[in-house]
Amino acid sequence: MRFTPVTLTAEEEALRSEVRAFLAEELPKGTYRPGLGMSAGHSPEFSRKLAARGWVGMAVPPEYGGHGRSPVDRFIVVEELLAAGAPVGAHWVADRQTAPTLLKFGTEEQRRRFLPPIAAGECYFSIGMSEPDAGSDLAAVRTAATKVEGGWSVSGTKIWTSGAHLNHFFVVLCRTSPLADDRHHGLSQLIVDLTSPGLTVHPIRFLDGTHHFNEVVLEDVFVPDDMVLGEVGMGWQQVTSELSYERSGPDRFLSAWPVLEAYVAEHPGLPAERAVPVGELAARFWTIRQLSLSVARALQRGEAPAVEAAMVKDLGTTFEQEVVAVLQTLVEGDPDPGSPSLFESLLAQSILIAPSYTIRGGTTEVLRSVAARGLGSGR
């Protein structure tokens, strides 16, 4: 694996300062509750403000309403937003995942229809991959699309669909031909309107009653032919390519950062027995950040560091869970989600969310298999 050390340019550092100044004005510390990584709040108003500054759709070409910025520029903006716990939930999937997928596989009509509003922070997407019996094993999906006049009739169930109760569309991985010996054949992706007749969204609530995930049931939902994303039957190749957009960014190590930051703010003058584990966590944050930034710079050079991205995702999400576990050892008793202490309430929320960190975007086992195959091939 190759992780080249990265030094930011003066222009990149200036961008960081610009984002920090914006956040200090829009989200002064103490005036809002920070979100936890990609589980942060869903605020269309905030997404539109970011887009007005050119910080949504950064990687989208200007001809589609974007800004043609580099992966490192986007890394810097995303890192600052997540470290602040900004409410990025509305545009998150559309910006990170749907836009590059449309650029790679979409028709020109689809690009013209969806990319400009995505870059404007006005069009929001969810992910329609996992199913009740096909989470990490996406080749086992059973949601079926049957060809009908003018399009497809889709029936099945998707689960863990973040933001489906708030967003406009989701990209559904489904079977467009019967299951064969090779389960990877016969899969396709369709762009489905989340307000379609026959589509029902059921909330999946955390133990504290909060609502982020959903079950989406499709019963004979009609999807027109022009909403097929990419080629019919090529869904497996497309979805594995799409997952690469999820795996190496700051969202894979910063989910627990606001919790650690709140702990330090509320516990000045830590004794050595507590300062040492906190210092160790900070050092590991910095190390994983450098690995992630190295992947962004490689992407900027036009490389395809899939193995390195898988390793960063594995290290980052495992570490996020370790941060929560270490912080739990520094408090007495169970944290109260209703506590006036920001740290305690964020820690209580993190305990509920943290098990999902090593699942979303590919399980630890899957990612280690990717890394092992890459190492075995001499990479």
Active site residues per annotation: 246
Residue 216 · residue 161 · CB < 8 Å: yes
The end-to-end CA distance of the chain, in Å, is: 6
The radius of gyration of the chain from alpha carbons, rounded to an integer in Å, stands at 21
Residue 335 · residue 217 · CB < 8 Å: no
DSSP 223-289: EEGGGEES-TTBHHHHHHHHHGGGSSSGGGT-TTHHHHHHHHHHS-S--HHHHHHHHHHHHHHHHHH
Amino acid (one-letter) located at 307: V
* 83 backbone φψ class: left, alpha, beta (φ>0; ψ -120 to 50): alpha
Residue 185 · residue 177 · CB < 8 Å: yes
Q: Which residues does residue 215 pair with via DSSP β-bridges, in sequence order?
A: 159, 202
Run of H or E residues at 78:
helix 71-83
As a three-state string, the secondary structure of 91-144 is CHHHHHHHHHHHHHHCCHHHHHHHHHHHHCCCCCEEEECCECCECCCHHHCCCE
C-alpha dihedral sign at 93, 99, 101, 107 = positive
Calpha distance 40→68 (Å, rounded): 26
Residue 367 · residue 306 · CB < 8 Å: no
Residue 240 · residue 189 · CB < 8 Å: no
Q: Which residue reads 């992966």 in tokens?
A: 71
Nearest CA to 263 out of 341, 339, 338 is that of: 341
The torsion angles phi and psi of 71, rounded to 5 degrees, stand at -60, -35
